[in-house]
A = this chain, B = another copy of it.
Amino acid sequence: MSVEPQQTGRRRVGRTTEGRRLLRRTLTVAAIDLFLESGYEQTTVDDIAAAAGVGRRTFFRYFRSKEDAIFPSHDEVLRDIERLFAEADDRQNPVEVACAGVTLVLDSYLSDPDVSVKRYTLTHTVAPLRDKEVASVDRYQRVLARYLRTRFETDGQPLADLRASVAAAAVAAAHNHVLRRWLRSGGTEDAHAMARKAFQLVVDAFSTEPPRRETGDDETVVAVLRSSASLAEVVQQISASLRPGGGSAQ
């Protein structure tokens, strides 16, 4: 395919940082197109490198494996999330901060709808690529869980570790749901609007603040108290309510 295979001195496109980004993207696009066209297994790394006009060895200087070729560099997004968490106000709702963090992931997909949609058809079809995607989601989820754990711990939450893992998984799942819907729509729907709704559902479920509205199920006790009551009275009344049949409205 290449007209000048042994030409001395190809363009050194990867010399500068900007050049590296460009070549990386060229390789990604080439990989995606070849995978879609000829199938993942049928496409060799040589094919991808040749399509991008570089040597096979260079490919592996840009991607650690054949599967990685179609994915963006998650490391940068991860760093952005870490920075957002580090700079976050401790007075903010931790779960909402986590949602803001994972929104950076969403944005990284939104910034390149064409590639994202094509990649989705691949991760939806090819098992090794799907596994890689899942592994990267797990990396994000771990970062979320770590942040939430420290926040929950300083807030004195009981079972902080468990809560953090569960909440992180929920936030990640909400993000994935929105992302999938957006990808299935071909990148046309309003992802951020969907994300707001989805995150609201998670925040409501996991908010550690006194919730504005609560789901009243069989195991919920509603206590109505005068604000002038002393704390001791309150405790007494609450413990009475928690006994079977003692709830004021259950």
Number of chain A residues whose Cβ lies closer than 8 Å to a Cβ of chain B:
69
Stretch from A44-52, A98-106, A109-117, A196-204 at the B interface = A196-204
Output the least CB separation between A116 and chain B (Å). 19
Closest to A219 in B: B227
Q: Which of A32-89 contact B (CB under 8 A)?
A: none
Q: Are B230 and A158 in contact (CB under 8 A)?
A: yes
Q: Are A215 and B221 in contact (CB under 8 A)?
A: no
| Interface residue? A150 (CB, 8 A) | no
Please give, as numbers and ranges, the residues of chain B lying within 8 Å of A220 by CB-CB distance. Answer: 224-227
Please give, as numbers and ranges, the residues of chain B lying within 8 Å of A236 by CB-CB distance. Answer: 156
Q: Are B177 and A212 in contact (CB under 8 A)?
A: no
Q: Are A162 and B177 in contact (CB under 8 A)?
A: yes
Q: Are A249 and B166 in contact (CB under 8 A)?
A: no
Contacts known (A176-B165, A207-B215, A211-B215); A234 close to B224, Cβ less than 8 A: no
Contacts known (A224-B222, A247-B210); A172 close to B169, Cβ less than 8 A: yes
Q: Are B227 and A217 in contact (CB under 8 A)?
A: no
| Interface residue? A241 (CB, 8 A) | yes
Measured in the bound complex, the distance between the Cα atoms of B205 and A209 in whole Å is 13
| Interface residue? A189 (CB, 8 A) | no
Beyond the given A214-B222, A221-B226, please list 20 additional residue pairs across the A-B interface where CB-CB is below 8 A.
Answer: A156-B236, A159-B201, A161-B177, A162-B201, A165-B173, A165-B177, A207-B217, A209-B216, A210-B223, A210-B246, A211-B213, A211-B215, A221-B227, A222-B224, A227-B250, A231-B238, A231-B239, A234-B238, A234-B242, A238-B238
